[in-house]
Homo-oligomer: A and B are copies of this chain.
Amino acid sequence: MIVGEQFLLLPGPTPVPERVVRAMTKPVINHRGPEFKQILGEVNEGVKQIYRTRHNVLIYPASGTGALEAAVVNFISPGDRVLAISIGVFGDRFTSIAAEFGALVEKIDFPWGQAADPEIIKEKLGADVNHEIKAVLITHNETSTGVCNDIKSIRQAAGDHPALFLIDAVSSLAAADLYMDKWNLDVVVSGSQKAFMIPPGLSFMAFNDKALQVYTQSRNHKYYWDVGKGLNFLEKGQTPFTPPVSLYYGLQEALHIMQEEGLENIITRHMNYRHMVREAVKEMGLKLLAADENASPALTSVIAPPELGANRIRQAMKEEFNIVMAGGQQRLDDVIFRIGHLGYVRELDLLSVLAALEIILVKLGFELKTGTGVKKAQEILLQTHKNA
């Protein structure tokens, strides 16, 4: 029996701060009354700040995938030509949703572990001189591989092609830089159980006026996800359907915490985590799936030594230290393990996890001098603290 709770190092759900847990215990109130109206107004404004947008944000009682479906049914119509960019499992999912709802999807797959090449997207859209492509779907942070797409460059590469840009930022928002308005992104989806540090159950969708214009012409059936309904009720300070009030309390408190730390600082912290984990793991003699320039600030995918296997390492970490790390999905199963460093994670947590990982690697017979990676992480942290 290991002392203490399961230590979540997943790229979502992520650990929840005690302040958020306590906020969630407040009594449930009338969701059509003035108190909830105040909360809804406050959290909507707070989420907008995280999106760096002045446009519309709706909060859905749903998983992140629900908000991806919302993006598709509101802004894409059956028969629309859609360009889908996939660099992994979640890119594939966004593609599948669009196809299920009748879009004619042309999909560009980049190799798993790599980022999308803006040049290829530029060529593709450049060749579409009649502007038949109505939407571009792309994942910001691909959680299955730990690769972050360069959304800013991709958006710029599109030039003045009028297609809507729909971004899956479920696991990136508030971990990687994203400027919805400045970068001219039309629809951006995110979720609560990632950098927002609250339990799963809420998802967010922001959309600009260009997207809203497309919505008025959209021909997919919709009711639960209908942004028209959402906006009408938001104007009254309500939601169309009963909101998960407890999670709203949690979101309200999480936004307070985020405002105290400051969005720039939060993003810098995630970048530092990325650097520290990657350099430490390299120093241990392990390989990383993603190249430095595209690596995710939310999680690091480590290629396990083939003679050990990723799942054996994960199992030992769970059994001996109660640390829960994600494995690889589909073709990456047993090939990689993924270290989440997203949301409510401290430098201390990562130091201890890297130390535990070394212990497990050595115990499983991997050639490694205990402390090698941890020392590297310490040196990097020392530098961070000197600069602070």
Contacts and interface: CB of A to CB of B under 8 A. Distances in A.
B241 A65 contact: yes
Interface stretch (A7-15, A262-270, A350-358): A7-15
A130 interface: no
Contacts of A96: 223
A382 interface: no
Nearest to A193: B242
Given A221-B100, A221-B102, A247-B201, A8 B24 contact: no
A205 B208 CA distance: 34
Contacts of A32: 326
A259 interface: no
A220 interface: yes
Interface stretch (A44-52, A56-64, A288-296): A56-64
B63 A200 contact: no
A25 interface: yes
Interface in A299-335: 324, 326
A74 to B, nearest CB: 13
A33 B31 CA distance: 34
A346 B377 CA distance: 57
Given A66-B62, A100-B223, A200 B244 contact: yes
Nearest to A239: B63
A33 B242 contact: no
Contact of A6 (B21, B29, B201, B222): B29
A62 B223 CA distance: 13
A232 interface: no
Given A61-B201, A62-B224, A221-B101, A15 B31 contact: no
A230 interface: no
11 contacts: A13-B31, A16-B28, A21-B25, A31-B200, A32-B326, A61-B66, A61-B200, A65-B240, A199-B244, A221-B221, A244-B244
Q: How many copies make up the complex? A: 2
A97 interface: yes
Contacts of A100: 221-223
Interface residues of A, number: 53
Given A102-B221, A223-B100, A24 B63 contact: no
Nearest to A60: B62
A260 interface: no
A5 interface: yes
A242 B324 contact: no
A199 B65 contact: no
A5 B26 CA distance: 10
A27 B5 contact: yes
B33 A15 contact: no
Contact of A242 (B5, B63, B243): B63
Interface in A217-242: 220-224, 240-242
Contacts of A378: none
